[in-house]
Amino acid sequence: MSHAANTKNGHLSTGINLNNLSLIRIRGARQHNLKNIDLELPRDRLIVFTGVSGSGKSSLAFDTIFAEGQRRYVESLSAYARQFLGQLDKPDVDAIEGLSPAISIDQKSTSHNPRSTVGTVTEIYDYLRLLFGRAGEPHCPICDRSISPQTIDQMCDRILDLPDGTRFQILAPVVRGKKGTHRKLLSSLISEGFARVRVNNEVRQLDENIELDKNYTHTIEIVVDRLVKKPGIQERLTDSLATCLRHSSGIAVIDILNNTSGRVSASRENNMYNLNDTTNPVNSYQEQPQELVFSENFACPEHGAVMEELSPRLFSFNSPYGACPHCHGLGSLRTFAPELLIPDPEADLISAIAPWADKEDSYYTVLLQSVAKAHGFKIYTPWNQLTPEQQQIVLYGSDKAIWMENRDDFRSFKGVIPILQRQYDETGSELQKQKLEPYLIDRPCEVCQGKRLKPEALAVRLGQYRILDLTGVSIAICKERINSLKLSERQSQIADLVLREIRARLQFLLDVGLDYLTLDRPAMTLSGGEAQRIRLATQIGSGLTGVLYVLDEPSIGLHQRDNSRLLKTLTKLRDLGNTLIVVEHDEETIREADYIIDIGPGAGIHGGRIVSQGNLENLLAAEESLTGAYLSGKRVIETPATRREGNGKSLILKNCHRNNLKYIDVEIPLGKLVCVTGVSGSGKSTLINELLYPSLQHHLTKKVPLPKEMDGIKGLNAIDKAIIIDQSPIGRTPRSNPATYTGVFDAIREIFSQTIEAKARGYKPGQFSFNVKGGRCEACGGQGVNVIEMNFLPDVYVQCEVCKGDRYNRETLQVKYKGYSIADVLNMTIEEALEVFKNIPKAVTRLQTLVDVGLGYIRLGQSAPTLSGGEAQRVKLASELSRRATGKTLYLIDEPTTGLSFYDVHKLLDVLQRLVDKGNSILVIEHNLDVIRCADWVIDLGPEGGDKGGEIIVVGTPELVGECDRSYTGQYLKEVLLQHPPKVSVR
């Protein structure tokens, strides 16, 4: 690649000779804040788009380049096909040439489907199902003995063990779970002399008209013979079994018509999971089965446990043939949890049950009073003083009829949990369901213990491993086990291609730093960064070439240790012959890129221009580039010369053991900026979000139960408020905006109501709200736009014809402050509004904090869904900064630097330091070394992720952590502290 400067035709010097490369040419890009950009990008290169947050990177990468590539693909389909696809609007761009088919790999969660797992998303589980279905060895689910084929004599012996007088019929399954009308099959059975069939568990005469819906699956079994067990039937039984096996590919079903006493050990439903034994997942069933299943292929000689012929669907928890029948393959059941229903055990019964606590003198209060009177306890007795039997009665009911005084009648009491479960299942109100959702929890299925599959599937082995031995361990261990499989020559021939594909896909996951995940982990529990890296690994496995990949910060949530592996993955994808456009702030990724586009120089209206394009030297030399200034050292985030001593108080979590935490004790000093660090999957989020925050909520509100996976927490009295500041939207609808969220709009509406014109008209502050009737435009409901549904095309947002997008009626817009209407104010940037309202103390405080956190460019009325995660988080921080400090607030922040440039991180750190200087405490989960080195205290978890993590490696100041050789964070922190030694004290 040539690095000669190219200054022809007025282009910026790029450092790359574009004349020798095929190009993607963009002309006149004006999407969002882009300022009519013309740009040429080299194909088959790793291209990084960088710049301050809000400068227009995503607008160019996703909303322009990817959107146009996606739109052109969808437009090539028929109108019928387009109605099933979400079509993107045509971006505001004059032309894009040289565009390849585009694939977006963003931060959105992989799936919200509880059936999706890491294994299914990456398709590794599909290959494992194929592997076990074709090369597996069936074992008895009861005794774990290898199962061998059965002979007709063995089948006869089993049937003849039935008690005398047992009536049964011999069934030959000829159709099992297949769609269709099956008319030809039914006609052929009549010609063969059969009289009856069992269709979907119902016995039908063949001479009647059997109509089957072709769109549903059906099971058809021939009734070969009907017999009564008595002496002398062996010869007929043998003939009937032979006929049955001939028609059903070696399977015979014995349907027992009367369930007499005695025990038969062979059945496809006679096995239950052993809840205590981890090596043998099943135990024998205790009652006689209704059916016996025999196979010429597989049966246990001792217990009679039968396995049908192995197939991939037996190992699918999404198929009724493989899924646990109790939980239908989900592995868990959604039930009401007593600990959530009774968050405060010290409260009396009348107020302890959270869903009924706010319903004074309601039917439920009378019901509880009647229950208490009938069972001899008081309704005002604290919950934890009730006996276990009394608690059981309240939660699950009793058979004893109770007298309802207000009904003058006896009623049975079903119990709190059954009553709530019925309400949840039967209600048609989404609002009612939302009210009950907080009290529901996913508990592991009591039958399969969360394993999702039937015992027959779990008993199959490939070499020395069951399928659960591969999916229930980390990906790193899974790959080791795959490599150590001991297979026979025949199995090796069958499994060769499949194993090769599995090894490759596992390696791709290892390459992107996901070695700590397990294949059976639900996809909905993955973070945005993990989900993105999984999709990245999947794309490498697809082996596509000539594709344009657009990625959104793939380094998010990734420790510095794993960055190099991620970069190798990106370059591998590029070397396959693909073009990668990566929106990124990570320094290492920027330095490794083939081509860098810096957009800016500022954010919002101050951005949208190409500041630098080309190689790293161009970026470092660009005078307007803030990114280049931080990379070159012209701008520096200074390391504090001293660390805060704190207020001498601490929170101490005892014996934490949730997920992968190894029974650790954690002390969190207060009055400091504390960072929790460690490699991905080491237990940081579990410790803070799943143990600490619920404990604080329990202490402060009593509405959340105390987590059970810890022995307690000390020092809670030093905290009077706990606030999580994450990157979730500040609102879900266009009505939510920075003005309403921060409260500055209340002050602005008050100001407008105090104007002479407003007083003359009798307008109150509510007149200037677009959320209530009065001053808003009723034609659009105060939204400024109307939504037009376009069927197979995307919905179109049309400006309201009445208010022209102003949201208010004409009378309200006639009221002005300093020449501006209320609509003009909502359309102002924060910086402009600060100048207009600089003499109004209530408004200026909130507006100034928004400017301080680097959001001066966003508009007051900008709708919440259009704000990025980083912008939403900083709006929340600004809202907190403008409040009066109590000095006893603890802020919990999870990776606040996500989506932030060096400049924005600098701003963020200033805000965090100000919050701590007010006497508050901040606890941050973070990988960013600039934040870590500016912290007062660091708690490092590790040493690895997953099962190999969950320990405390080192705690102390950043300098102390940097001296710990065992800490991966410390190794990188030591380097960055040498590069940026303390210069001045900020204390």
Q: What is the structure's pLDDT at 264?
A: 35
Tell me if 858 sits within 8 A of 867, measured CB to CB.
yes
CATH code for the domain of 934: 3.40.50.300
Q: Percent of the chain having pLDDT more than 90?
A: 50
Kindly list the distances between the CA atom of residue 617 and the CA atoms of 41, 55, 614, in Å, as whole numbers in the listed order: 17, 21, 8
Same domain, 499 and 353: no
Encode pLDDT of 700-748 as tens digits.
887 788 898 999 899 999 998 898 887 778 887 777 899 999 999 999 9
DSSP annotation string for 440-507: EEEEE-TTTTT--B-HHHHT-EETTEEHHHHHSSBHHHHHHHHHT----HHHHHHHHHHHHHHHHHHH
Q: What is the structure's pLDDT at 11?
A: 40
DSSP annotation string for 271-310: EEE-SS-SSS-EEE-SS--SEEEEESSEE-TTT--EEPPP
Cα(529)–Cα(42) distance, integer angstroms: 27
- Say if 261 falls within a structural domain: yes
SS3 label, residue 555: coil
Same domain, 177 and 198: yes
Kindly list the distances between the CA atom of residue 253 and the CA atoms of 171, 267, 882, in Å, as whole numbers in the listed order: 5, 9, 74
- Say if 57 falls within a structural domain: yes
Q: What is the structure's pLDDT at 860?
A: 93
Same domain, 680 and 606: no
Cα(109)–Cα(704) distance, integer angstroms: 26
- Low-confidence spans in the chain with pLDDT less than 70: 1-21, 85-88, 107-111, 258-289, 299-305, 358-362, 404-409, 789-797, 983-987
Same domain, 341 and 412: yes
Same domain, 298 and 162: yes
* ∠ CA 422-426-430, rounded to 5°: 115
Closest to 306 in 3D by CA, of 320, 331, 289, 286: 289
Q: What is the structure's pLDDT at 279?
A: 37
CATH code for the domain of 508: 1.20.1580.10
Q: What is the structure's pLDDT at 266?
A: 34
Same domain, 166 and 302: yes
DSSP type of residue 911: H
CATH code for the domain of 392: 1.10.8.280
Q: Which residue reads 């405490």 in tokens?
A: 921
- Say if 798 falls within a structural domain: no
Please enumerate, by residue number, every residue annotated as part of a binding site for ATP: 51-58, 678-685
Work out the burial of residue 313: count CB atoms within 10 Å of its CB; fewer than 13 is exposed, 13-18 middle, 19 or more buried. middle
Same domain, 180 and 296: yes
Average pLDDT, the chain: 86
Sign for the pseudo-dihedral over CA of 15, 21, 24, 30? positive
Q: What is the structure's pLDDT at 167?
A: 92
Those residues whose C-beta lies under 8 Å from the C-beta of residue 378, and which sit 6 or more positions away, are 349, 372
- Say if 770 falls within a structural domain: no
Task: Tell me which of 441, 473, 492 is where a domain ends.
Answer: 441
Q: Left, alpha or beta for 518 (phi > 0: left; psi -120 to 50: alpha)? A: beta
Cα(842)–Cα(808) distance, integer angstroms: 24
Helix, strand, coil: what percent of the chain each, to 5? 35, 20, 40
Encode pLDDT of 273-327 as tens digits.
333 333 333 333 333 457 888 888 776 655 656 777 789 999 999 998 899 999 9
Q: Which residue reads 């951005």 in tokens?
A: 607
Same domain, 546 and 490: no
Sign for the pseudo-dihedral over CA of 975, 976, 980, 986? negative
Kindly list the distances between the CA atom of residue 484 and the CA atoms of 463, 514, 870, in Å, as whole numbers in the listed order: 9, 21, 45
Number of domains in the chain: 5
- Say if 824 falls within a structural domain: no
- Say if 874 falls within a structural domain: no
Same domain, 126 and 146: no
Same domain, 160 and 128: no
Instruction: Provide the domain limits for residue 680.
Output: 649-728+890-982
- Say if 870 falls within a structural domain: no
Task: Tell me which of 387, 416, 441 is where a domain ends.
Answer: 441
Q: What is the structure's pLDDT at 17?
A: 53
Tell me if 828 sits within 8 A of 836, measured CB to CB.
yes
Task: Tell me which of 275, 310, 345 is where a domain ends.
Answer: 310
Same domain, 260 and 149: yes
Please enumerate, by residue number, every residue annotated as part of a binding site: 51-58, 678-685
CATH code for the domain of 289: 3.30.190.20
Encode pLDDT of 160-199 as tens digits.
989 898 999 999 999 988 889 998 999 999 999 999 999 9
- Say if 838 falls within a structural domain: no
Q: What is the structure's pLDDT at 784?
A: 84
Q: Which residue reads 């055990």 in tokens?
A: 345
Same domain, 38 and 75: yes
Q: What is the structure's pLDDT at 7?
A: 36
